[in-house]
A and B are shown apart, each in its own frame.
Chain A
C-alpha cells in the first residue's frame, strides 16, 4: 500500500497517487464541500422517488389481466404480455382517440407556445414599467381559477342562454348550443386554456428578459435600431436558450393533455372530438367495470409517445442549436 506523503503545509502530496485514487479523492472532497446542499436535496429526492418513480412499478399491470383488488405481483397474477396493447391498437376507438388527442395538442401547442413569448416581449418593451406590472398581474390572474370554475364560466358565456347567445339573439341571430357542437369544442378548449395560462407561462420569459444587459439595448438604440428591431435583435436572442428548453419540454409533453377539462366540457354532442386518450383511460380505468390493466396499457403507450417526442426534440435541438436538456 502506498503512503501519502505530507507537504510542508501539512497538505497531502498527491503526486504518488494513482489517477483513480485521485479521482476518488476529488469526488470525496466535493461531497464533503457540498454536503449542506446535498442534505437539502434529500426531501426533494424523496418526494420525486415516492410520487414519480415508485408508482412506475404500477405499469406492470399493463401486462396483466388485472382486476381491482388484485396484488400487482402475487401468486395468482395473470401475465398476458402485450395483449392489452394489441387490444388498444385494434380498438375501433384507437384512430379517433389518436386523432383527437393529436389535433387538440398540436393546435394548442402552435397557438399556446408562442403566445407567452410574445406577451413577455411586449410587456418587456413597454415604456411604462408600472403599467407593464399591472398588466402582468392581470394576465396571471386566470391561472388561479380552477378548471371547474373555468368551464362554468365557459358555460355562462357560451351556453345556450349565455352571454354570447344573448348578444347574438339581441342582434337577431339564432341561439346555438356551443357545447353540443363538435366544431366548437377545440376552439373553446384551446382558447380558454391559453387565456388561462399565457400570463403564467410568460413569467419564465419575463424573468429571462430581466437579465438582458441594458447596455445592449442602448447600443442598439445608438446603432439606430427601432423598438421592434431591438426586440428582434436583443430581446429574442437573449431568451432563445430558454425558448429552446421550453420547446423541448413542451414537445415532450405534447400528448400529455389532462382528462379533467375535456371531461368537464364533454357532451354527447361533442363526444366525437372531445374523447381523448386521457378521457378514455379515465373511463376505462375508473368508471363502469374498471379495466385497469387496459387503461394502464393505453396510458403507458401515451407516455412512450411523449418520451420518443422528447428524445427527438432534444436531439434535433442539440444538432441545430447549442441548447438541449441533456
Chain B
C-alpha cells in the first residue's frame, strides 16, 4: 500500500509522420489547439490528458469516471507504466516513478478483457508473476491459495480460463493481481464485460475485497453507478481534463458544472435552459418558464458572497427532487416507466425534456399515463444554478 501523487500529468500522442505528410500534401495544416471531436489536437499531437493533478491517500479507493475518450484509461495506463508520461510527475509513495519500469512500480492491474493467459491453468495464471520473481515454490503455493480463498476460486485452480464463466475469469484476473500484494491495484473497467446481474454481484465482491486486502485502489469506469458505490473519492474527467474531484456525496450534491451535474445521477439531472437569474432589491430569484422561483437564504448568501450579477442560467433539479400533482409548472407525460416501487415520468414542459421520479404507493396510475398533463414542483433548496455561458455552478 502506498499513497500516490500525480502532478500536472500530461499525455500527448505525437502526430504520426505519415499523417503530417498527408496533411502537407493536401495543403490543409491543422490549426494549433484545434478541437476535433473530443480530442485536442495541437502541434505536439493529440492531447489525451492534461493538467491532471491528484493526491491519492494510502488505501484510498479512487474512481476515475467519464465518458469514452475522456482520458481515464490513459491516466491509469500512465500510472501502470504502460504509457509514457509526456510531462508532469508521478510519485508512488515518495518515489518518482516516471521512468521506472512497470514491473518495478509494485503495482498490479486488472484488465477489462481479463488478459488471462489461455494456455495456463488458473493456478499458473496467478502464480506467473511470482514465478518470474523467483519466489520459492511453497510461498507461491501459499499466496495463490490465499488469494484463491479470498476470491472463492479455489475449486477452479486446475481449470483453464476457457472453462470458466465471465465472472469467474474476472475473479481470476483480480486474483492474479492481488497475489503479488501490490502497493497499488489498478482496475480498468473490470466489470464492463459482464452482464448486469453479474456486474452487481462483482461490484459487491470488490467492496468486500477492499475490506480484506489493504492496498490503494484506482478504478476506471464509465459507469457512474460503479463510481458512486465503490469510490471513496471520484475523479470526473472530460476531454482529458479533470472536471471535479470529490466524494460521491459531494459530486452528487454539489456538481461544479453542467457536465458533472448531467453525468452523475441516474436518470440525469433535469435542466431548464433559458432561465434567468434576477436580482431585485438585493433579492435573487430565478425566472423559469415564465415563473419566478425565490431562492433560499443560504443560496441568496452564496450568490451575494460572489456578488453575482443577473445573468442567463440553466436551472438543474434532480428527478428525485421533483414532486408532481402540485406546484405552478405543468408538463405533458410522454413516457411513463413503471419501475416497481417508483414511476419514472418523462415529461415535456415548454420544450424542456424532464424526468420526475415518484413513489408508486398510493398513486393513481391512470392519471399519470402517457398524454396526460400533470403539475409539478421542486424544492428551491435543492435546485442547482449554472451559468448559461460557462456552465459553472453558481451556488
The answer to whether A26 has its CB under 8 Å from any CB of chain B is: no
In the assembled complex, the CB of A295 is this many whole angstroms from the nearest CB of chain B, namely: 47
1/0 per position for A197-227, CB-CB distance to B under 8 A? 0000000000000000101101111111100
The answer to whether B348 has its CB under 8 Å from any CB of chain A is: no
Q: Known: A221-B102, A224-B129. Is A240-B111 also a contact (CB below 8 A)?
A: no
Stretch at the interface among A53-61, A229-237, A243-251, A284-292: A229-237
In contact, B119 and A222 (Cβ under 8 angstroms) = no
A222's contact among B102, B112, B117, by CB below 8 Å, is which?
A: B102
In contact, A219 and B111 (Cβ under 8 angstroms) = yes
Give the CA-CA distance A311 to B162 in the complex, in Å: 28
Closest residue to B105 on the A side, CB-wise? A222
The answer to whether B2 has its CB under 8 Å from any CB of chain A is: no
A residues in contact with B115, CB < 8 Å: 213, 215-216, 218-219
Give the CA-CA distance A94 to B102 in the complex, in Å: 62
Q: Which of B102, B114, B115 has the most CB of A within 10 A?
A: B115
The answer to whether B107 has its CB under 8 Å from any CB of chain A is: yes
In the assembled complex, the CB of B18 is this many whole angstroms from the nearest CB of chain A, namely: 9
In contact, B111 and A218 (Cβ under 8 angstroms) = yes
B residues in contact with A234, CB < 8 Å: 117
B residues in contact with A216, CB < 8 Å: 115-117
- The contact sample of 24 A-B pairs, CB cut-off 8 A, is A213-B115, A215-B113, A215-B114, A216-B117, A218-B82, A218-B111, A218-B115, A219-B111, A219-B115, A219-B117, A222-B81, A222-B129, A223-B129, A223-B132, A223-B176, A224-B129, A224-B132, A224-B133, A225-B132, A233-B117, A237-B117, A237-B118, A237-B119, A240-B119
In the assembled complex, the CB of B97 is this many whole angstroms from the nearest CB of chain A, namely: 13
Which residues of B line the A interface, CB within 8 A? 80-82, 102-103, 107-109, 111-119, 128-129, 132-133, 176
Give the CA-CA distance A204 to B116 in the complex, in Å: 24
Give the CA-CA distance A143 to B107 in the complex, in Å: 47
In contact, A221 and B103 (Cβ under 8 angstroms) = yes
A residues in contact with B132, CB < 8 Å: 223-225, 229
- For chain A, the bracket of interface size reads 10 to 19
Q: Which of A218, A221, A225, A240 has the most CB of B within 10 A?
A: A218
Closest residue to B104 on the A side, CB-wise? A224
Q: Known: A216-B115, A240-B119. Is A222-B80 also a contact (CB below 8 A)?
A: yes
Q: Known: A237-B118, A237-B119, A240-B119. Is A222-B113 also a contact (CB below 8 A)?
A: no
B residues in contact with A221, CB < 8 Å: 81-82, 102-103
Closest residue to A234 on the B side, CB-wise? B117
Give the CA-CA distance A221 to B132 in the complex, in Å: 11
B residues in contact with A225, CB < 8 Å: 103, 128, 132
Given A218-B80, A224-B103, 4 more pairs with CB closer than 8 A: A219-B117, A221-B82, A223-B132, A238-B118
B residues in contact with A222, CB < 8 Å: 80-82, 102-103, 107-109, 129
Give the CA-CA distance A219 to B129 in the complex, in Å: 9
A residues in contact with B118, CB < 8 Å: 237-238
In the assembled complex, the CB of B177 is this many whole angstroms from the nearest CB of chain A, namely: 8
The number of inter-chain residue pairs (CB within 8 angstroms) is 57
Closest residue to A225 on the B side, CB-wise? B132
Closest residue to A218 on the B side, CB-wise? B82
B residues in contact with A224, CB < 8 Å: 103, 129, 132-133
Give the CA-CA distance A216 to B118 in the complex, in Å: 9
In the assembled complex, the CB of B275 is this many whole angstroms from the nearest CB of chain A, namely: 47
Give the CA-CA distance A225 to B125 in the complex, in Å: 13
Which residues of A line the B interface, CB within 8 A? 213, 215-216, 218-225, 229, 233-234, 237-238, 240
Give the CA-CA distance A218 to B102 in the complex, in Å: 9
A residues in contact with B176, CB < 8 Å: 219, 223
Closest residue to A233 on the B side, CB-wise? B117
Give the CA-CA distance A246 to B344 in the complex, in Å: 60
Give the CA-CA distance A222 to B186 in the complex, in Å: 11
In contact, A218 and B119 (Cβ under 8 angstroms) = no
Give the CA-CA distance A221 to B107 in the complex, in Å: 11
In the assembled complex, the CB of B378 is this many whole angstroms from the nearest CB of chain A, namely: 46
In the assembled complex, the CB of B74 is this many whole angstroms from the nearest CB of chain A, namely: 13
Give the CA-CA distance A240 to B117 in the complex, in Å: 13
B residues in contact with A219, CB < 8 Å: 109, 111, 115-117, 176
Give the CA-CA distance A15 to B128 in the complex, in Å: 52
| Closest 9 A/B residue pairs (Cβ) | A215-B115, A224-B103, A223-B129, A237-B119, A219-B115, A215-B111, A224-B132, A215-B113, A216-B115
In the assembled complex, the CB of B167 is this many whole angstroms from the nearest CB of chain A, namely: 18
In the assembled complex, the CB of B130 is this many whole angstroms from the nearest CB of chain A, namely: 9
Closest residue to A221 on the B side, CB-wise? B102
Give the CA-CA distance A240 to B119 in the complex, in Å: 10
A213's contact among B103, B113, B119, B133, by CB below 8 Å, is which?
A: B113
In the assembled complex, the CB of B169 is this many whole angstroms from the nearest CB of chain A, namely: 12
Give the CA-CA distance A75 to B129 in the complex, in Å: 76
A residues in contact with B102, CB < 8 Å: 221-222
In contact, A218 and B109 (Cβ under 8 angstroms) = yes
Give the CA-CA distance A234 to B116 in the complex, in Å: 10
Closest residue to A229 on the B side, CB-wise? B132
A residues in contact with B81, CB < 8 Å: 221-222
A residues in contact with B112, CB < 8 Å: 215
Give the CA-CA distance A219 to B132 in the complex, in Å: 13
Give the CA-CA distance A237 to B125 in the complex, in Å: 13
In contact, A223 and B103 (Cβ under 8 angstroms) = yes
A residues in contact with B109, CB < 8 Å: 218-219, 222
Give the CA-CA distance A223 to B81 in the complex, in Å: 12
A residues in contact with B116, CB < 8 Å: 216, 219
In the assembled complex, the CB of A164 is this many whole angstroms from the nearest CB of chain B, namely: 40
B residues in contact with A218, CB < 8 Å: 80, 82, 109, 111, 115
A residues in contact with B107, CB < 8 Å: 222
